[in-house]
Structures are given as structure tokens and as C-alpha cells.
Structure 1
Amino acid sequence: MDSKIFFVKFENSDIKGTPEPQTTSHHQDEGKTQKCRGCRCLVLMTVCLWLISALLLVFNILQHITIISYKNTVEEFNQTINSLQDNYTDLMSEKDQLNQKKLELETRVNNLTAEKTQLQDSFNSLSQKKLELDGKVTSLSDELKKAYVKGNQLGWFFITTQLSWSDSRQYCKDRGGDLIILNTEVKQRTITSLLAERVWIGLTDLQQEGSMKWVDESPLKQGFWYSGEPNDVAGNEDCVELLPSAPLQNWNDLPCTQSRKGICEK
């Protein structure tokens, strides 16, 4: 626009034939001003481009840092998730083990409870039996005392000399009695409780082998034999002795010629 004006004005000056130096100088100033403005615009554009480049560079750097941080965060997050998953798996495994132990303990408690119940029942049964036995022992003690008194009244006495069975019986007869007959449990216990050594009693199978009879000719109904007796060793054990080893099962057969003390009763 300015060059066109300058050209027009220049043409007009040629036509008129008069120069216009002031107008030309004015146009030169305007051109310089215009160039300065262009330079400023160029500088501004350059600065803007530099700023934009700097911003892009900062943005790229920040974006790169953000991406790296994001990756690190994701990796840490994944590691945390994996760790939590492993912990969860371990906890579930421990839970299963604890449940199994709980079931085992419950089963054991149930078994122990059942055993306790059985033991309690057995204890109660044994306590009842003990009471019954205590009552029986008391009753037997009373009977023993009565039998002992009765025995003294009947005239039980010991032979202090060692004699054969036949001689012991004759000793008793000479004193108005005979060898003792033990046909009850109470009498058996009473006599045994008074013993300190082996003695003859009034039982034999001299008349018929294998058929034991008392000296009053009554057959044997209840025997208190020692284990394995009578065994009739060598076929000549026909008389019976009483051993002090046990309160009940303490009878033994042996040859009648053996020497023993004896018990007589009238």
C-alpha cells in the first residue's frame, strides 16, 4: 500500500516537474518503522516458538516421568496384589488346617466325653459292688465271730503233735471228738484264719477211691481245693490237709501216712 502511494506520488511529481523531497523522506521513515515492526513480530514469533518448544519439552519430560512413575506404581500395585493374593492363599490354607484341627479336637472331645461317661458308669457300678462287698464282708465277719464262739462252745481244739491222719483221728476220738468237718464257707474261713501251719481235716476217700467222705460218713458236697487238687499222685493220696496259704481254696490231698498236726471238734 505504501509503495503504491509512493509510486503515484512520484508520477505526479514528474508530471508537474517539481520534486517533493519531504514526501520521500516521510515514506522512508514509514518503511523503517514498518521494518522494525516486522523484526519485532519475528522476535515475538521466535520467542513464542521457543516458549512452545520449551513447553513441549517440559510436557514430554513430565509425560515421560509420569509414564515411568505410572509403570512403577502399576508394578508396585501388582506386586502388592500378588503379595495379598499369596497371603490370602496362605490364610485360607491355615483356615482349612485350623478347621481340620477343630474337627479333630471336637472328635477327640466327643470320644473323651464318651469315655468319661463310660468310666463314670463303671465307677458307679464298682462303687455299688464295693458297697455290696462291704456289706457281705461285714456279714461274714459277724458270722465268723458267731462261728468262732460256737466253735469254742462245740469244743474245737488243735492237735499240737505231728501224727498220721489215722493217729490224729484216734487222738480226737480219745478226747470225745473227731477230726473237724468243714462243710460251710464260714466255717472254712474261720478255721483257716486260726492256722499257722498245715493240719489234717476229717475228709478222706480211703473207703472208695475218688469218693470223698467226711468222718461222719456224709459225702462231700462243697470243696475248697487248692488249684490242681485233688490229683492223687502215685494213686495213694487219700487223706486231706488244710493249708494256711489262702482263706478258701487251700485243700490238698496227700498220703495218709504223712505227719501233720490236726484240728478236732466235739
Structure 2
Amino acid sequence: MFRGKGSPRSYYPLLTVGLGVLNAILLVATIILSVNCYKGSEKNLPLHQNMTQVNRELKQLQTNNSDVIHEKETIHRKLDEVLMDHQQIRLKVEQLRSQNDILQVRKDHLLDEKKHLLSSMSTLEGNCGLCLPGRDLQKSTCYYFATSDDLLKSWKSSRDDCISRGAELVVIDSREKQLYITETLLAINFNLRNLYHGGFYIGLSEECTRGTWSSQGTWTWVHGAKLLEGYWMDGEPNDADGGEDCAATYPTRNPQKAWNDIPCSHRLKWICEMAPQRARVSI
């Protein structure tokens, strides 16, 4: 084998040395890079820590923000519930006020009824035992109003009926008495159709108490007293056809113009009066 001076084997030692040097250089370069990287890491460590802290705080803020949003939603929900409760309470208050108004009206009505009942009770207590059933007590006098449409009588028959009851045809000798009788007749004859036939005989006629006719035509009460003040309708008494010798009172709107002269045979209702029972017993 040829081993001349310029053979490739002669370069092996140099190549080996070169490779060793190159390896040394690479090692040094690696060390230098490692040191530089380490130094760079040391310099960037605070920044990395800051970034980590920022990320941590950001996550915390996100968590807090979620909590705030949740709390806000909870508050809104509770607010809606409170508003709904407030609306219901307001409706209940309005209902209670309405019910209170109704109850107040009922209370006032009951108070009025109570006053009326107390007044009626006082009247009944005052009348109890004084007037017989069907009679009205007014100013210490018992009145009987014959109001049946099926039972009409002449003036004399009407007086006989009163006498049979221990009474007499009414004598109207005061305005107060005339007002009371007219108001009572209006109450019981409010829908009167025929005014002429709707009168009530009173104890006044042109007859004497003994039943004979008065030659002078003087109006006289059943107890014998002459008429001093009358409450005649306009144009009355007119003694139409010379035969109207008895008086009757009517339910007119003006109590001062309520009397009319009428034939004594005419059939009408009538009014009796009598003293209270206790007063009669005491006499």
C-alpha cells in the first residue's frame, strides 16, 4: 500500500485537533449562551412575576365582577318582588278603604235606623196603654181614622160609629191639629183619585147637637161650640143646592184650605177622637 507524504492519513491528526478545537468552541459558545439565557431569565423574572400577579388579579376581578353581576341580579329580583308586594299592599289598602266607606255608609244608615227605632219606641212607650189598637196618640188625644174604602158612612152614621167607640167626631179647633190631620190624610191617601169622595167627616155641621137644623145656618161643633176659625177650600162653604150642611176635611197640599161642605147623606170616611184611656180612667 502506498504511504506517500501527501496521503490522506497524514491529515487525520490535524482533523482530529480541528474537531477538538471546534468542539471546545461549541462548548464555550453553549456555556456563554446558557449564561446569557440565565441572566436574561433573571432579568425577566420580575416581569414574569408581575404578569402572573396581573393575571391572578384579573381572574379575581373577573370573579368579583361575576359576583357583583349576580348580586345585582339578586337585588333587581328582590326589588321586583318588593314592588309587587307594594302593589298588592296598595290594592289591599284601596279595597279596605272601599270596604270602610261601605261600612261607614251602613253604620250611618244603622244609626239613622236606631234613632228612628228609639223615637218609635219612645212613641210606643208613651202611647202604650193610652190609645186602643188602631188609634194614634197626638197631643194627649187618641185619633181613629176610618180609612177602609169598603166602609163608607153618612155624617150621622159616622158620628154614631165614633160614639160606639167611646169617642166623637173630631173637633179641629187649632191650626196645629188641622196640620196633623192633613199630613196624616196625605200619608194614607197619597194616591187619591177622586178628591170629592176622598174626604173625611169631621164633627162640624149646621145641625145642633140634638139633631135639629140650625135656622140661622151657623156652623157648630158636636160639643156645641160655634166655629171660630175654619180651613175651607176656596169658595167654600157654598151650600150648593141648599143641601150641604156637613163638613169634611180632605188631604190637600195646603192644610189651611182643606174643608168642604157636603150633603150629610153623602157616604165618606170619618175621623174620631177620644181622650186617652188613662186620663178617662182617672176621671
Higher helix proportion (structure 1 or 2): 1
| TM-score, structure 1 normalization | 0.43
Structure number with greater Rg is 1
| TM-score, structure 2 normalization | 0.40
Greater relative contact order, per chain length (Cα 8 Å cut-off, separation 6+): 2
